[in-house]
Amino acid sequence: MYKIGFDNDKYLSLQSEKIKERIAKFGGKLYLEFGGKLFDDYHASRVLPGFHPDSKINMLAQLKDEAEIVIVINAADIEKNKVRSDLGITYDLDVLRLIDAFRGYGLYVGSVCLTRFAGQPSAIAYQKKLESLGMKVYRHYSIPGYPSNIPFIVSDEGYGKNDYIETSRSLVVVTAPGPGSGKMATCLSQLYHEYKRGIKAGYAKYETFPIWNIPLKHPVNLAYEAATADLNDVNMIDPFHLEAYGETTINYNRDVEIFPVVSAMFEKIMGSCPYKSPTDMGVNMAGFGIVDDEAVRDAAKQEIIRRYYHTLCQKRQGTAGDDQILKLELLMKQAGVTIDDRAVVSAANIKAETTGEPAAAIQLPDGRVLTGRTSTLLGASSALLLNALKALAGIPDEVQLISPTAIGPIQDLKTNYLGNRNPRLHTDETLIALSICAATDDTAKAAVEQLKNLKGSEVHSSVILSQIDMNTFRKLGVNLTCEPHYQNQKLYHN
């Protein structure tokens, strides 16, 4: 059963006030490094039930008169066409998406910064493209000896060689399509240039996870480690904060390891470091939004299992290794969960064993578990969706929502005209057929109206699904996992 464990309104209020306080602390100018996702933060909404996926951008929208956005992208990522795994688009395209999304919230996007620029042809072409679209573009360069050679880094030959990014607002949000883009280095470079110009400015970091004021092995923090298993991030007690204040707080290894370097950079740029620990640098108030610890613990445990299955599938696809699997197995043990704690796993696999065909299972937000099997007309996921909609609408199981005579022409179109070898309807095709039927059939209409109530459901498939089906479940807000094998033995799968 879905339980709210997080007060989103309280969080937004506390977060915006904390950022305003930090701006004032530095005399009216703050570079705020935004880690994680500003939009569609579904990881946070899954592990903190009640957290809205767009909470962070909505919070920023409250400060839109004071804020401007700088988007940074690693030039090397442009050159190698790095892809966001969750969206399936390259980082350079995601920058364009982010600009449009920010503008949709009334936020001012001031510029794009190409980091680690080394004359890459693709990066030069991308800069010209952005400039043709009216965007200001700046270049930051790789610095020899970074981050250890502080005297060189904090000099005219280091940060001084970077372009100075012209900004006009008191809050400069520095964000990126993904990790490794150079957000912190961009912020520190800007501080160097600001102080050279006699302008007071500060730096702070805003990342939702790990949450600093809950226990180290809390499932929510373990779920963050699970989400970053590919980066090998490790949560740890912040030793600098413990020494300075006698308080136990949680941070992660990269911030703890780099803090002495960052502190020394601050001293060289500003004369002294304004922070005594990496925890001090943060402005995250998510921990104060938790109102039901049991609910968020349960949600986070489920997320760890989902991450485990996701990584198993990545390994099957050749994009993850055994080390990530082993780490996730350890995290599951620390959280005290196994795959048996995900109810839809056994339901889907038992159905598949019984029918001898791919099957799927769904757990609705009210706790009911249903299954779907493969037939001559529908794939297992399509059958599952229809079964779930009937259950939510109170429609008897024997009722056919889509007539076989309506499915036949679609199959004919797919196989005889569009060259598709699989005649069974994918989930998107099934929903289109259902919506057409809803125009003249009140029962089908009642089923369509239940689509919004699928949000938060859990689904497991006995085989890896097509990208089309995965996208459909994602758009419906359904949490999907799959067994790590395909329906057939082909080498190419789409």
Average pLDDT over residues 411-417: 88
- pLDDT band at residue 411 under the 50/70/90 scheme: confident
Q: What is the mean pLDDT of residues 368-390?
A: 96
- Asked whether residue 417 carries a pLDDT value surpassing 80, the answer given is yes
Of 440 and 419, the structure prediction assigns the larger pLDDT to 440
pLDDT of 439 above 70: yes
pLDDT band at 490 (very low <50, low <70, confident <90, very high): low
* Average of per-residue pLDDT across 361-375: 96
Q: What is the pLDDT of residue 2?
A: 72
Give the per-residue pLDDT at 420: 84
Q: What is the mean pLDDT of the chain?
A: 94
Mean pLDDT of 381-406: 94
Share of the chain above pLDDT 70, in %: 99
Give the mean pLDDT of 449-463: 96
- Express each pLDDT in 29-49 by its tens digit: 999 999 878 888 889 999 999
The pLDDT value given to residue 276: 97
List pLDDT tens digits, range 400-409. Answer: 999 888 888 8
| pLDDT on residue 88 | 78
pLDDT higher than threshold 90 for residue 350: yes
What is the mean predicted confidence (pLDDT) over 130-141?
A: 98
Residue 440's φ and ψ, nearest 5 degrees, are: -125, -5
pLDDT value of position 421: 81
Q: Which residues pair with 273 in a beta bridge?
A: none
Alpha-carbon span 122 to 143, nearest angstrom = 21
Taking residues 100-115, what's their average pLDDT?
Answer: 96
pLDDT interval class at 50 (50, 70, 90): very high
Residue 40 neighbours by CB distance under 10 Å: 15
**Domains in the chain, CATH or no CATH each:** 8-210+253-289 (3.10.630.10), 342-482 (3.40.140.40)
Longest dimension (CA), the chain: 77
What is the arithmetic mean of pLDDT over 88-109?
A: 94
Q: Which structure tokens are listed for 352?
A: 């598949």
Q: What is the DSSP letter of 110?
A: E
341 pLDDT exceeds 60?
yes
- Burial status of residue 204 (CB atoms within 10 A of its CB: 0-12, 13-18, 19 or more): buried
Q: pTM value?
A: 0.91
**Contact, 237 vs 244, CB < 8 A?**
no
- Whether 57 contacts 64, CB under 8 Å: no
Lowest mean pLDDT among 86-95, 122-131, 210-219, 428-437: 86-95
Q: DSSP string covering 76-95, please?
A: HHHHTT-EETTTTEEHHHHH
For the chain, percent of residues with pLDDT exceeding 90? 86
Residue of 184, 128, 190 lying closest to 162 (CA atoms): 190
Query: Over 70: is that where the pLDDT of 494 sits?
Result: no
Residue 491 reports pLDDT greater than 60: no
Asked if residues 420 and 414 have their Cβ atoms less than 8 Å apart, the reply is yes
* pLDDT on residue 489: 66
pLDDT at 1: 61
Mean pLDDT on 415-420? 87
Name the amino acid, one letter, at 25: K
pLDDT at 493 over 60: no
pLDDT tens digits for 246-279? 999 999 998 999 999 999 999 999 999 999 999 9
Look at residue 40 in the predicted model and tell me its pLDDT: 80
- The predicted model gives 130-156 an average pLDDT of 95
Instruction: Decide the pairing of beta strands 83-84 and 136-141.
Output: unpaired
Q: Which one is predicted more confidently, 256 or 319?
A: 256
Average pLDDT over residues 71-98: 92
Where residue 178 falls among pLDDT bands split at 50, 70, 90? confident
